[in-house]
Homo-oligomer: A and B are copies of this chain.
């Protein structure tokens, strides 16, 4: 009985969700299953888009950046608009899958901070190496694993699963009985559903 948390490292609204979800779930005694995936292939397959909808539709992008400022202020999260958007989360996603599941939440939160607080390039090996080193994880082993067919296939499988579950954006949450909730602002609804089934 776990709530599945599906996220993409380039996704703005996944950042506050990743920073908020552990405390909110723990308060209710709900276990979490962190699932990284890539949103780009879904945008391409479902909407024919090769870029974030926030870049494709400028009026949506302007709203989103202001909204992120408000949300992060409300949740007391540091926020600095990254110079590059969306960042390429491929390396970070593969690195996530190359480590033990128990280590992933801490790593994922550090990647989000690198992207949305520290304005670091999360596609850069140096950034990922720094994060792994700060966690005392063997960075050379993890980075080597990101180039293996097994890890590449594991990420493709995650992305396929996300599509099969009916996802089209991030963050998304999937309850044990299969309800999908989309968006940081629906995290509380997803937790409510886990507790009460409504």
In the complex, chain B residues whose CB is within 8 Å of the CB of A185: 183, 185-186
Complex contacts, A60 vs chain B, CB 8 Å: 46, 168
- State whether A63 and B186 are in contact (beta carbons under 8 Å apart), knowing that A47-B57, A74-B198, A168-B57 are contacts in the complex: no
| Residue pair B46, A59 in contact (C-beta under 8 Å) | yes
User: CA of A63 to CA of B172 in the docked complex: distance in angstroms?
Assistant: 11
What 1/0 mask marks residues of chain A from 123 to 167 whose CB sits below 8 Å from any chain B CB? Answer: 000000000000000000000000000000000000000000011
The bracket for how many chain A residues form the interface is 20 to 34
The answer to whether A57 and B63 have CB atoms under 8 Å apart is no
Measured between beta carbons, the chain B residues less than 8 angstroms from A62 are 166
Closest B residue to A167 using CB positions: B59
Contacts of A74 in B (CB 8 A): 198
Which residues of A, 23-73, contact B by the 8 Å Cβ criterion?
A: 46-47, 57, 59-60, 62-63, 66-67, 70, 73
Minimal Cβ-Cβ distance residue in B for A45: B59
Q: Which residues on B sit within 8 Å (CB–CB) of A168?
A: 57, 59-60, 63
A43 to chain B, nearest CB (A): 10
Minimum CB–CB distance for A159 against chain B, Å: 14
Q: Which of B63, B67, B166 contacts A63 (CB 8 A)?
A: B166
Nearest neighbor of A183 in chain B, beta-carbon distance: B185
In the bound complex, how far is the Cα of B168 from the Cα of A180, in angstroms? 24
**In the complex where A185-B185, A185-B186, A186-B185 touch, is A166 in contact with B198 (Cβ < 8 A)?**
no
CA distance A47 to B49 in the complex (A): 12
Instruction: Spell out A's residues near B (CB within 8 Å).
Output: 46-47, 57, 59-60, 62-63, 66-67, 70, 73-74, 166-168, 179-183, 185-186, 189, 193, 198
